[in-house]
Each structure stands twice: as C-alpha cells, then as structure tokens.
C-alpha cells in the first residue's frame, strides 16, 4: 500500500513520515516549572546575540513570522502562567505589552531610574541596556519588586526552553541534494534502479515506527503532498539525496509532510490551551461527523492531543 504514496518508478509522485512535532499546545500539567524563589537565585548568562528575541536566537523563522509565531505566543503563555499564580493583571499586562512591542527593536540606552534589587541575578553585559529599559518601564507603572523578580525569573528560565520547543515543532523543510534533471543518463538509471529498494526500506522504517497507525498516517502525509503547490511538490519528487534516494521517498520527507499536515489541521479556536482545542475538535466530531471522518489529519491531531492530556 505504501507504493501508492511513494515516488512512482517513472519519477512522478511522493513520500511521507512521522509524528513528534505537530505544533500542538502545551499541556499545563506537563509544563516544567520555570519559577524560582524571589529570595534570590543564580540566572545564567543568555546566549550570544545572533538575532531573534533579545539574546535568544530563533532558528528557522523569518523576521516576518517572528512576531506572530514566536513573540505573541510567548507573551500569551507568560500572561496565562502569571494569571494562574494570581499576579496582578495590570502588572502582567504592562510587562507583556512591553515585551511584545520592544523585543525585536534594537535597544537604546536609557539612564537607570528604577531602584529594584537584582541580587541573585547575573546580568551579562549585552542584556543590561534592554533590561534597564524594561525595569524603568515597570517602575514607572508601579510594579512591585517581588513581582519584577518573578518576571525576570520566568523570562530567563522559560524563554530558552520555549524557543527550543518552537524549533522542534517547526522543523525546516528537509534539505535535498541534486535536481534529478541535472543527473547524467547513467546516474538517472541508477537512481531509478535503486528506487524499489529505497521505498521498501522506507516502508519498513515507517511500519516499525508507526505500528498500527501506519496506514492512517501515510494517507495523512500523502494528502499533504497532493495539496502542495506544484513547485513545492516537484521539489520533493525531483530532488535526489545522498545515496540516490529521492527526497519524497525519505523518512525525513514523509515525517515532515505528516507533521505539517497535523499542525495545519488545528481548528479555528479562540484559545491555545489543550482542553479548549480538544473540545473544539470533539464538537466537530459530534456536529459535523462527515467532515471529521474525511479529515484524517484532524483525527491524528485529536489523537496527539489526547496523548498530551494523558488519555
């Protein structure tokens, strides 16, 4: 059955693979505790500035997408966690709004006007200017010191982990190798000769990894490939990777397609929390059964959400 989804022997269709990073909401039950006591703790130096959110690099995301895909979700998570701990909503809004509006801008020097005690925090030189600006703003808005220390603790502990998780959930398109049209006649014949072997190896790997979900998931990936714009689809069909395997026949290519399909299957909901999204999909299942039955990626997303929740 896998042959229906792999690149055909004449050089024409595609291949798909694996679940792990589907852009799912994070369960609050599984979130690590990023909080430290405001009584003082050591906070390590932030990484060198290579672009991104202040000192933390964000690989694989364009400047255009950074605001909507990284910065605003970080601010939303910050608000949610602060509210859950009963922090004053005005103080939370002041901090979150400053972060959203300033973290992509080159920081400008300001004289220190706040008097917050930052003992216990190790501040690296490159962080001093944006941090001073941030703390001056909090002081102007009468945010108390114990709350400021919680804000800083969360930021330094949470942000690297959040950005790392984002990178895992948004893998780059698998890199290919040589365009099939650039091969010599002998090389092309060799690629076609090896294709059945490569496809069988891919099938075996996928069956081992996906088990009973293999048939369902390969259809999800296949449908993703089918709806791609022609140029993107041809990239997977006609790119020859190391060893002579077509990109569309690789485990990485299939896994990318599957993950993207599940990520894009997110329903139109007003909340990013786990329970809210599960309820939205279950509502589709109850009220529009035909849509649910026809949307294999949505079914896979719900299964993954259940696993996150612990069912």
- For 172-221, the pLDDT digits (tens) are 555 556 888 888 888 888 889 888 999 999 999 999 989 999 999 999 99
Residues 68 and 165 in one domain: yes
pLDDT at 48: 27
Q: What is the mean pLDDT of residues 59-81?
A: 71
Rounded CA Rg of the chain: 24
Residues 194 and 118 in one domain: no
Element (H, E) at 80: helix 72-84
Residues 67 and 147 in one domain: yes
Domain endpoint, select from 142, 169, 196: 169
CA dist 104 and 108 (Å) reads 12
Residues 177 and 141 in one domain: no
Residues 256 and 186 in one domain: yes
Greatest mean pLDDT among 90-104, 131-145, 249-263 lies in 131-145
Residues 126 and 200 in one domain: no
The reply to whether the predicted model has a pTM over 0.85 is: no
Q: Is the dihedral of CA 76, 82, 86, 88 positive or negative?
A: negative
Site of tokens 């020859």: 240
E strand residue ranges, 142-261: 178-179, 239-240
Domain endpoint, select from 112, 141, 169: 169
Residues 146 and 230 in one domain: no
Give the mean pLDDT of the chain.
75
User: Do the Cβ atoms of 74 and 61 come closer than 8 Å?
Assistant: no
| Domain of residue 221, residue span | 2-16+173-264
**Residue at 29 is within a domain:** no
* Number of domains the chain is built from: 2
Residues 217 and 185 in one domain: yes
The alpha-helical segments, DSSP class H, found in 109-144 are 125-140
pLDDT at 141: 94
Residues 180 and 145 in one domain: no
User: Do the Cβ atoms of 267 and 194 come closer than 8 Å?
Assistant: no
Residues 231 and 247 in one domain: yes
């Amino acid at each position: 059955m896998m042959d229906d989804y792999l690149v055909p022997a004449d050089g024409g269709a595609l291949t798909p693979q694996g679940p792990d990073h589907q852009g799912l909401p994070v369960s609050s039950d599984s979130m690590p505790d990023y909080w430290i006591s405001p009584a003082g703790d050591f906070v390590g130096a932030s990484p060198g500035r290579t672009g991104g959110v202040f000192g933390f690099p964000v690989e694989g995301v364009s400047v255009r997408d950074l605001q909507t895909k990284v910065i605003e979700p970080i601010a939303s998570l910050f608000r949610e966690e602060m509210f859950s701990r009963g922090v004053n909503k005005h103080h939370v809004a002041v901090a979150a709004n400053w972060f959203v509006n300033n973290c992509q801008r080159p920081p400008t020097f300001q004289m220190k006007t706040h008097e917050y005690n930052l003992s216990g925090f190790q501040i690296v030189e490159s962080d001093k200017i944006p941090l001073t600006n941030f703390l001056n703003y909090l002081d102007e808005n009468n945010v108390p010191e114990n709350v400021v220390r919680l804000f800083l603790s969360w930021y330094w502990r949470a942000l690297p982990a959040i950005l790392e998780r984002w990178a895992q959930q948004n893998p780059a398109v698998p890199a290919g190798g040589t365009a099939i049209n650039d091969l010599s006649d002998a090389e092309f014949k060799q690629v076609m000769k090896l294709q059945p072997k490569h496809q069988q190896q891919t099938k075996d790997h996928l069956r081992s990894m996906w088990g009973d979900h293999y048939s369902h998931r390969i259809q999800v990936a296949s449908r993703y490939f089918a709806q791609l714009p022609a140029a993107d689809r041809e990239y997977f069909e006609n790119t020859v990777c190391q060893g002579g395997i077509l990109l569309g026949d690789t485990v990485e290519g299939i896994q990318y397609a599957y993950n993207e399909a599940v990520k894009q299957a997110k329903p139109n909901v007003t909340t990013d929390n786990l329970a809210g999204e599960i309820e939205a999909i279950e509502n589709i299942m109850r009220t529009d059964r035909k849509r649910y039955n026809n949307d294999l990626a949505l079914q896979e997303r719900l299964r993954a959400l259940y696993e996150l929740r612990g069912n």
